[in-house]
A = this chain, B = another copy of it.
Amino acid sequence: MARPRSFDREHVLHAAERQFRASGYNGTSVDDISAATGLGRGSLYAAFDGKHGVLLEAMGGYFARLGQFAPKALAGPDEGALDRLHGYLLRAVHGVPLAADVPPAPDRAAAACFAAKMALELGASDPEVERLANDCFSVLVTAVAECVRAAQRNGDIDPDADPDDLAYLLLTIIRGTDVVGAYGHSPARLTSIAESAFALLPRPRHR
């Protein structure tokens, strides 16, 4: 029996995420968020807990999104595992889109993994962000490692290789393209890096 909220919480967090990813945390003011979301300051402070609260919740939403889409892109039958890995790698080096159906931002630095950008900007001075960011990374590592195991079962990747080590390495490469992309390199260069990485995957020895 009270006035209902007039905004969509997820939509607001989405807009905030876009802003943070475009301008960084310290480069974004509450007024920027207010303008991007259309919400007044009062509502922002009531619904979230100020700027930092918005960041944490936006990162939480990002984490949930990753946890939903990455496994979906990588999980499946053993036969297609290597192909899925290939496709994932090729897509991932071009950034993380805001939503599944929109292309990543044209500015590659703004398309970089939200968690990566925040973790690198805020560093160890913000343990909450560091942990959330690491959670995002772990979800991806787990999904990739599972896909590697599937490819191994199918005889496409050397069974002696450690799937977790391989997953860490692949994710490190993907995060690296966030940085290399920020230097202004062309998408073609990033694709080339992805292909080089894929070509070096350890194949089974015989046959």
Contacts and interface: CB of A to CB of B under 8 A. Distances in A.
Interface of A: 22-27, 107-110, 112-113, 115-117, 119-125, 130-131, 133-134, 137, 162, 165-166, 168-169, 171-180, 182-185, 189, 192-193, 196-197, 200-202
A93 B37 CA distance: 39
A193 B168 contact: yes
A196 B202 CA distance: 11
10 contacts: A27-B121, A109-B122, A109-B124, A110-B123, A119-B183, A133-B183, A165-B192, A168-B189, A169-B197, A178-B179
A120 B112 contact: yes
Determine how many copies of this chain the complex contains.
2
Contacts of A184: 124, 130-131, 134
B180 A196 contact: no
A27 B125 CA distance: 11
Contacts of A27: 26, 121-122
B169 A196 contact: yes
Q: By CB atoms of chain B within 10 A, which of A25, A109, A131, A179 has the most?
A: A179
A137 B180 contact: yes
Given A109-B119, A109-B120, A117-B121, 7 more contacts: A115-B183, A120-B179, A120-B182, A123-B182, A124-B184, A175-B175, A200-B200
Contacts of A168: 180, 189, 192-193, 196
